[in-house]
Amino acid sequence: MDHSNMTDEEMEEMNMENGHASHTNLVALNNSTGENELAIPQLIEPKDGVVTINAQQGTTEIFKGVQSQTFGYNGSFLGPVIRVNEGETVIFRTKNELAEPTTFHWHGVDISGEGDGGPHQLLGPGAMEDVKFTVRQGASTLWFHPHPEGSTAEQVYKGLAGLIYVEDNNSKNLNLPKEYGVNDFPLVFQDREFTVEKQFDYQAVRNDDGTIGDTLLVNGTINPKLTIGKEKVRLRLLNGANARNYTFKLNTGDKFQQIASDGGFLNSPIEMSKITLAPGERAEIIVDFSKYDTESDIALLNEDDAILLPFIIDEQKTNPLQISTSLNDFAVTDKERNLSVTKKLELFGMGKMVYINGKQFDMNRIDFSQKQGDTEIWEIYNKPDAMGGMIHPFHIHGTQFKVVSIDGNEPPVNLQGWKDTISIEAGQTVKLAVKFNNKGIYMFHCHILEHEENGMMGQVEVI
Ligand code: C2O
Ligand code: CU
Ligand code: CU
């Protein structure tokens, strides 16, 4: 079905039916009361080249004294941080211990289509699969989550998500906070809606334009606070929500430095007073707590001033770290800039009526092909509708791309780095330089997970 020729009246009617009007009045997030110290996921590394990852179900005490039914990797809720090094060959030994099919998708990882864990790589209950690959990308904060057709959104919502840290010689040598859980913290932001019994009831709260909730979990912790030292601290932010955008800022109005985008370091730290991440996006930031005294009231807020994460400044640190000023050598080359557009994608719609080039996902249809190692320019246009339209965070599997332009202009400096997901506003056109280093079939889709489930996804075959 192609809806691009609908009249404005027809569109409006469709929008009202889809509840679009109500969705734009986002459910507000509750403030974190700072009652609970933030959970720090377990950090795991390959042993003899193998990392074991089990998808499980279990119960978790999210609210004191209440057991909630949850999903997790290697535990009952969420997952570990898997740390790997560039150049290393790794086997992810995956096992599905759920009572339903799942897949293990490595979001942002340069990996073959077969190993990518898209909807084609379905594992039934009890099934195991070894995914072997060599880490061929630089230092970055990536993540993993399920991708079975029709239940990605629900499985993520219930707790299936973890992080992957890639380290390389550069990241090891740079002057950056890098002590895991001491001055280098993963922060996975997800908003959820709980039933009165404090359970997830995904089907009851599911929204076709993206399921949002009033309750924030950071690393699965409700009402979190983070105790840190009086020093420079690195926060690796992941928007792991199904649909909500977060705009992070400090309550003091002070600036922080962004050092990395989705797929690696920016060329140099960038001073920012706020940063917006759409679902699927990551950023690494440095906050300088050395300039505050221990009594200070410091917190990470959302755009609307909701308190996301209060900080407790704990101890005196004496050796101040000078953050490296040169972090990477990322560039969009002249050659890439001069390439003509070879793939055009039009994102359109909302609710159940979401399309890429007028089509919805079909597992048996390959939408594009591309040659391994060739760089092509993908032009993505987010076509507005009668009500304006929505932001669609556009993601491509199996690679990191470069943002060449946004509406013909140079992208903001914090998007001048490796990306695998880009937030595209209604009316915007972005040009991406896309290269796949491996072969296979890869998904591209909107990372509002319910849009993805509703068919805002296509497939590119790399040959
Ligand atoms: Cu986070 Cu299809 O991906
Ligand atoms: Cu992905
Ligand atoms: Cu979307």
Residue 18 has a pLDDT of 44
CA of 247 to the centre of ligand 1 (A): 21
Q: What torsion, rounded to 10 degrees, do the Cα atoms 452, 186, 309, 190 define? A: 20
Query: Residues 141, 165: contact at Cβ < 8 Å?
Result: yes
Residue 103 has a pLDDT of 98
The pLDDT tens digits for 344-383 are 999 999 999 999 999 999 999 999 999 999 999 999 999 9
CA of 189 to the centre of ligand 1 (A): 16
Q: Is 20 in the pocket of ligand 1 (CB under 6 A)?
A: no
Nearest ligand to the CA of 448 is 3
CA of 281 to the centre of ligand 3 (A): 14
Q: Is 156 in the pocket of ligand 1 (CB under 6 A)?
A: no
CA of 356 to the centre of ligand 2 (A): 17
In angstroms, rounded to a whole number, what is the distance separating the alpha carbons of residues 330 and 363?
35
CATH domain 184-316 topology: Immunoglobulin-like (2.60.40)
For atom 3 of ligand 1, the residue with the nearest CA is: 107
CA atoms within 13 A on the CB side of 193: 18
CA of 251 to the centre of ligand 1 (A): 32
CATH of 8-25+330-462, one of 1.20.1440.230, 3.40.50.300, 3.90.105.10, 2.60.40.420: 2.60.40.420
For atom 1 of ligand 1, the residue with the nearest CA is: 107
The atom number, within ligand 1, closest to the CA of 421 reads 1
CATH domain 39-173 topology: Immunoglobulin-like (2.60.40)
Mean pLDDT of the chain: 94
Q: Is 443 in the pocket of ligand 1 (CB under 6 A)?
A: yes
Q: Is 249 in the pocket of ligand 1 (CB under 6 A)?
A: no
| CA triple 161-446-2, angle to 5 deg | 145
57-67 per-residue burial string, b: 16 or more CB within 10 A, e: under 16: beebebeeeee
Q: Is 107 in the pocket of ligand 1 (CB under 6 A)?
A: yes
The atom number, within ligand 1, closest to the CA of 452 reads 2
CA of 13 to the centre of ligand 2 (A): 33
The stretches in the chain having pLDDT less than 70 are 1-25, 317-318
Query: Residues 279, 244: contact at Cβ < 8 Å?
Result: yes
CA of 270 to the centre of ligand 3 (A): 28
Q: Is 445 in the pocket of ligand 1 (CB under 6 A)?
A: yes
Pairing of strands 224-230, 36-37: parallel
Amino acid letter, 364: N
- As annotated, the residues of the chain forming the CATH 2.60.40.420 domain(s) are 8-25+330-462, 39-173, 184-316
Residue 125 has a pLDDT of 98
**ipTM surpassing 0.85:** yes
Q: Closest Cα to residue 275, out of 292, 258, 262, 289?
A: 258
CB atoms within 10 A of CB 243: 25
Nearest ligand to the CA of 391 is 3
